[in-house]
Amino acid sequence: MERSLVLGIETSCDETAAALVREGREVVSNVVSSQITIHQQYGGVVPEIAARHHLANLLPVLDEACAVLDDPWKQIGAIAVTSGPGLAGALLVGVNGAKAIAFARKLPLIGVNHLEAHIYGNWLYDSGTQPGPLPEFPALSLLVSGGHSELILMHRHGHFELLGRTRDDAAGEAFDKVARILGLPYPGGPSLQRAAEGKLGASRPGDPNAFPLPRAQLGESYDFSFSGLKTAAQRLIGSLRASPEEPILPDTLADVAASFQEAVVDALIRQTVRALERFHVRSLLVAGGVAANGRLRELIAYRAHVPVFIPPLHYCTDNGAIIAGTAYFQLSRGVSTGLDLDVSPNLRLAG
Ligand code: KG4
Ligand code: ZN
């Protein structure tokens, strides 16, 4: 591609984001406008409010992402945008914005699958830093986000095979729900991690073995299930409170959070290791918002016998760089989208 930058736009949930990425890897700019403080007061993302804020934020975010270069349009060769999965109204803002730019600038438009993009976070590096080694194929991907928990075989660029998925809640969703029961702020994952580390008023880090919590037994499958764990955690929390309004003591909160986090991380790693033993892969790619979890990052590298890739924290959660990076590899295979691109709120990756 003569113009080596892709402009990536992401509006699938509660982050309005845009980024410039060179040749699928080098992140030249990456701007994320988070709506967390707005949705926090409701305890979760309100779709209508998210869409309205995307509309207000998209142009300023795009301007900021392009402002790092004197004449960005001389270098931008394509416009990429998340087309799904995600909230329909939120996706529409990004897709229509991307279409308008692609039309006005006469550039190709590429609709990107948000799940695929999370996996491609493992190819990114910040401009001005040394690129890490490239993941080798075939690779196994553990994709864990707010809406998805999946084990995927990636045979080569663009070729994905679903091995297992959650039968009920996604890992991030389980973090969010239990955090909410504990009275911790949205998004629950980072709050729960902080509680587990003893950073919410406790005198020490939480003990991951303080409370025995169940790990789902799912036979020979590579699926996940977190609803039983969530219910057990809910019962445990209820039993620790004298009344529903009663706060839990900070040290006990740390122990509950650490025990719950351990159960989720353990379940994710167990299934991943089983898949690694069964399928001969050359790398493990951890991806999605839950890949930001410190305990998962710490433990998974010990348990896998192949090189483990986990994006830096800012490329785990939603951003435009993963979208632009993915689009480059799509373009390299000759895949692009017409201006009739539509949103696909229930888009899947494979299987
Ligand atoms: O990938 P993402 O930003 O959005 C989706 O595509 O869903 O993932 C968001 C999810 C939320 O459920 C959030 O609680 C979780 O990732 N998450 C974490 C951590 N940071 C974000 N879960 C556990 N520990 C974290 N540090
Ligand atoms: Zn995401």
Report the pLDDT averaged over residues 133-141.
98
Ligand 1 surroundings by CB, under 6 angstroms:
13, 145-147, 172-173, 175-176, 187-190, 193, 288-290, 292-293, 317-318
Rounded distance between C-alpha atoms, residue 153 and residue 200, angstroms: 38
Angle of CA points 81, 85, 86, to nearest 5°: 90
Q: Given ligand 1 and candidates 290, 296, 313, which is best to mutate, with the most ligand atoms within 8 Å of its CB?
A: 290
Given pLDDT bands bounded at 50, 70 and 90, which one contains residue 236? very high
Rounded distance between C-alpha atoms, residue 174 and residue 189, angstroms: 9
Report the pLDDT averaged over residues 98-102.
98
Q: In angstroms, what is the span from residue 6 Cα to ligand 2's centroid?
A: 19
Rounded distance between C-alpha atoms, residue 322 and residue 176, angstroms: 23
Helix, strand or coil for residue 347?
Answer: coil
pLDDT in tens, 248-266: 999 999 999 999 999 999 9
pLDDT in tens, 326-337: 999 999 999 989
Q: Given ligand 1 and candidates 40, 145, 181, 261, which is best to mutate, with the most ligand atoms within 8 Å of its CB?
A: 145
Q: Given ligand 1 and candidates 314, 317, 349, which is best to mutate, with the most ligand atoms within 8 Å of its CB?
A: 317
For atom 3 of ligand 1, which residue has the closest CA?
Answer: 317
Of the listed ligands, the closest to the CA of 14 is 1
pLDDT in tens, 185-235: 988 999 999 999 999 999 999 999 999 999 998 989 999 999 999 999 999
Going by DSSP bridges, is the β-strand pair 26-34/125-126 parallel, antiparallel, or unpaired?
parallel
Rounded distance between C-alpha atoms, residue 11 and residue 94, angstroms: 5
Rounded distance between C-alpha atoms, residue 23 and residue 124, angstroms: 10
CA 176 to ligand 1: nearest atom: 14
CB distance 139 to 284 below 8 Å: yes
**183 φψ region: left (φ > 0), alpha (ψ -120 to 50), beta (else):** left
Q: How high is the pLDDT of residue 41?
A: 84
Of the listed ligands, the closest to the CA of 44 is 1
Given pLDDT bands bounded at 50, 70 and 90, which one contains residue 175? very high
Whose structure tokens read 């303080």? Answer: 210
CB distance 208 to 192 below 8 Å: no
Given pLDDT bands bounded at 50, 70 and 90, which one contains residue 88? very high
Instruction: Write the CA distances from 89 to 49, 55, 198, 324, integer angstroms.
Output: 10, 10, 38, 21
CB distance 343 to 91 below 8 Å: yes
Backbone phi, psi, residue 107, to 5°: -115, 155
Rounded distance between C-alpha atoms, residue 4 and residue 22, angstroms: 6
pLDDT in tens, 55-70: 999 999 999 999 999 9
